[in-house]
């Protein structure tokens, strides 16, 4: 079994190699829709666009889950001391707000993978 320490090292190296895709942000974590957010500042992650192929595949379904404006945010597991939920909000340095729609990864993986969509404020 691969250790979490090795997964954390993989995440650090991935962030280093993807320098231009890496960005610092603030994460507002909520355990439930009614709970008060807990703010986690100065997190670093990879901000990646979904591929045109994946977007096209979702476009032909009755209820597409991935839209062109969605982002895949990869946050190293070692930075996350809470359990992310779909009630969470991510705020970029430019002030844009993004809602967490879907989550994967987590402990046992290098990253938490968040599908996020811009919230018009």
Tell me the pLDDT band of 117, cut-offs 50, 70 and 90: very high
CATH number at residue 71: 2.40.10
The CA distance from 13 to 17, in Å, is: 6
Dump pLDDT digits (tens) for 28-64: 999 999 999 999 999 999 999 988 888 888 888 877 7
Q: How does the average pLDDT of the chain come out, rounded? A: 91
Number of domains comprising the chain: 1
Q: Which domain, by its residues, includes 46?
A: 4-119
Helix (H) / strand (E) element for 59: namely helix 52-59
In the chain, % of residues over pLDDT 90: 65
Tell me the pLDDT band of 73, cut-offs 50, 70 and 90: very high
The CA distance from 90 to 100, in Å, is: 7
């Amino acid at each position: 079994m691969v250790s979490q320490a090795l997964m954390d090292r993989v995440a650090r190296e991935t962030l280093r190699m993807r320098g231009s895709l890496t960005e610092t942000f603030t994460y507002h974590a909520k355990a439930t829709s009614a709970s008060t957010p807990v703010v986690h500042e100065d997190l670093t992650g990879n901000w990646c666009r979904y591929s045109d192929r994946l977007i096209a595949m979702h476009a032909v379904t009755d209820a597409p889950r991935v839209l062109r404006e969605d982002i895949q945010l990869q946050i190293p597991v070692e930075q996350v001391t809470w359990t992310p939920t779909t009630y969470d909000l991510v705020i970029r340095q430019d002030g844009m707000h993004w809602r967490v729609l879907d989550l994967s990864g987590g402990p046992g993986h290098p990253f938490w993978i968040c599908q996020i969509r811009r919230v018009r404020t």
